[in-house]
């Protein structure tokens, strides 16, 4: 079995997995980092969103063999203790219902706010449109992204 060296949350991690193993499953099954969620496996829901070199990407579509030298950040590494402004905003607004989609929502929002620290409501909606929340917590997600933007500015 091939072995890959991945840079995750600032640490180098060794993963023994088939070349086509998506990062999602390498994280969850091989590295016991289960914060990144499985929702669809076909890049449609955003539950598996992580950052690669600072951009939000769908980890269910990223083979471990394609990540050499890339900086990967997962929900576990966004902050050590939940102190990232997006996480804090999520807590303040009490966004989650079942909570399952929220790691992906937070990762999408965090990358978005890095590139657009002062978004309009329409820009927030456009950017979060790719992440499904089956529980329908969209009103609060929107508010939390706006609050996080405020915290970050």
Partner 1 sequence: MSTSSMKFSRRGFLKTSALSGGGILIGFNMFTACSPNAEVPKEVVDISQLNFNDFNAFIKIADNGVVTIFSPNPEIGQGVKTAMPMIIAEELDVAWDNVHVVQAPLDNVNYQRQVAGGSQSIRFGWEPLRQTGATTRQMLVMAAAAKWGVDPSECSTSEGVITNAKGETLGYGEVVKKAAALEVPENVPLKEPKDFKIIGTDAGNVDIDKIITGKPLYGLDYKTEGMVYASVLRPPSFGKKLDSFDDTATKEVSGVIDVIKFDDKVAVLANSTWQAMKGKKALKATWSNGSPMESTEAHDKTLIGLLNGNKFETLRKDGDVKKAFSEADEVVERTYESPFLPHNCMEPMNFYANVTDDKIHLVGPIQTPARTANQIAQKLGRNPEEVALEMTRMGGGFGRRLYGDFALEAAEISNLAKKPVKVVFSREDDMTAGIYRPSIKYRIAASLKDGQITGYHLKEASINSNMYGLIPNFFPAGAIANYQVDVAKYDSNITTGAWRAPYTNFLSFAEQSFFDEIAEKLELDPIQMRLDLLQKVKGTTDDRIQYSAERMEEVINLAVDKSGYYNEEAGVYKGFVAYYCHNTHVAEVAEVVLENNQPVVRKVTCAVDCGIVVNPLGALNQIEGGIVDGVGHTLYGDFIFNDGAPHVNNFDKYRLIRMKEAPEVETHFVKNNLSPTGLGEPTLPPAGAAIAIAIKNATGKRTYKQPLVKNMANAVELG
Cβ neighbours for 91, distance < 8 A, ≥ 6 positions apart: 82
CB of residue 138 to partner 1, shortest distance in Å: 4
- Residues in 48-77 at the binding interface with partner 1, rule: CB under 8 A: 74-76
- Is the CB of 97 or the CB of 153 nearer to ligand FES? 97
- Residues in 14-73 at the binding interface with ligand FES, rule: CB under 6 A: 38-41, 43-48, 58, 60
Q: How many residues bind ligand FES (CB under 6 A)?
A: 23
117 close to 149: Cβ distance less than 8 angstroms:
yes
Question: Is position 94 an interface residue for partner 1 (rule: CB under 8 A)?
Answer: yes
Question: Is position 121 an interface residue for ligand FES (rule: CB under 6 A)?
Answer: no
Question: What is the β-pairing status of strands 71-73 and 3-8?
Answer: parallel
- Residues in 108-127 at the binding interface with partner 1, rule: CB under 8 A: 125-126
CB of residue 152 to partner 1, shortest distance in Å: 16
Q: Which residues lie near ligand FES (CB under 6 A)?
A: 38-41, 43-48, 58, 60, 96-102, 133-135, 137
Residues at the contact surface with partner 1, assessed by CB under 8 A: 1, 17-18, 21-22, 25, 28-30, 32-42, 44-45, 47, 74-76, 78-79, 81-82, 87, 90-91, 94, 96-103, 106, 125-126, 128-142
């Amino acid at each position: 079995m091939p072995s890959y060296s991945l840079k995750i949350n600032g640490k180098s991690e060794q993963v023994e997995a088939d070349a086509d193993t998506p990062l999602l499953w390498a994280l969850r099954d091989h590295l016991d980092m289960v914060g990144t969620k499985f929702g669809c496996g076909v890049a449609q829901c955003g539950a598996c969103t992580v950052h690669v070199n600072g951009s939000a990407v769908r980890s269910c579509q990223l083979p471990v063999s394609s990540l050499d030298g890339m900086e990967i950040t997962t929900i576990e590494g966004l902050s050590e203790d939940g102190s990232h402004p997006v996480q804090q905003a999520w807590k303040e607004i009490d966004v989650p219902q079942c909570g399952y989609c929220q790691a992906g929502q937070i990762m999408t929002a965090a990358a978005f706010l890095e590139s657009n620290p002062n978004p309009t409501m329409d820009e927030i909606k456009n950017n979060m449109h790719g992440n499904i929340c089956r529980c329908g917590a969209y009103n609060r997600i929107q508010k939390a992204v706006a609050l996080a933007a405020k915290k970050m500015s």
